[in-house]
Structure 1
Amino acid sequence: MTSQPRKATNLSLDASLLAEAKALKVNLSRAAEDGVRGAVVAAKAERWKVENAAAIQSSNAYVESHGLPLDRYRQF
């Protein structure tokens, strides 16, 4: 992964969590970035599911009615 430019930002965090993280020498910037990255991935996945719900439902309905298209060739 290539390093992207960083931008300073302000965050409000639970004071006791912040104190514990500092005591444990947690890199706050990296931890926050990892958390935001995870939230972005989850939000994109949820958006994809919503945007493709009709196609997924249609595909599931087809399989329920007709079975898997190549099922007769399965060897397991």
Structure 2
Amino acid sequence: MSAPRRATNISLNSDLLEQAKALGINVSRACERGLAQQIAELRDRQWLEENREAIQSSNAYVEAHGLPLAKNRPY
């Protein structure tokens, strides 16, 4: 992530925080990775939902007509 880092306050489960500290986990980096993963997952779900109709249409076409260039496949 190339954006500058900015200090923020968050509330965490105290048991998890203590375990993380005991294990030497960089809590800021771990939170950052988790947040980035959540953002990516949500964006993926949003993209699928926004494109669901086009994907279904494409799948229906292939099911009805086969792959457009299937005759050119060597296998």
What TM-score results when the alignment is normalised by the length of structure 2?
0.93
Deviations 1:33-59 (A, max 9, x none): 000001111111010000000100000
Q: Which runs of 5+ in 1 are unaligned?
A: none
Counting aligned pairs with the same residue, the percent is 52
The residue number in structure 2 matching 1:21 is 20
Q: What is the rounded CA distance, in whole Å, between the counterparts of 2:74 and 2:46 in structure 1? A: 36
SS of equivalent residue, structure 2 residue 62: helix
Deviations 1:5-55 (A, max 9, x none): 112112121111110000011111111000000111111101000000010
The residue number in structure 2 matching 1:56 is 55
Structure 1 outlier segments of 4+, above 2 Å = none
What count of residue pairs does the alignment treat as equivalent? Answer: 75
The residue number in structure 2 matching 1:41 is 40
Superposed CA RMSD in Å reads 1.1
Q: Which runs of 5+ in 2 are unaligned?
A: none
The one-letter amino acid paired with 2:33 is D
What TM-score results when the alignment is normalised by the length of structure 1?
0.91
Q: What is the rounded CA distance, in whole Å, between the counterparts of 2:63 and 2:38 in structure 1? A: 34
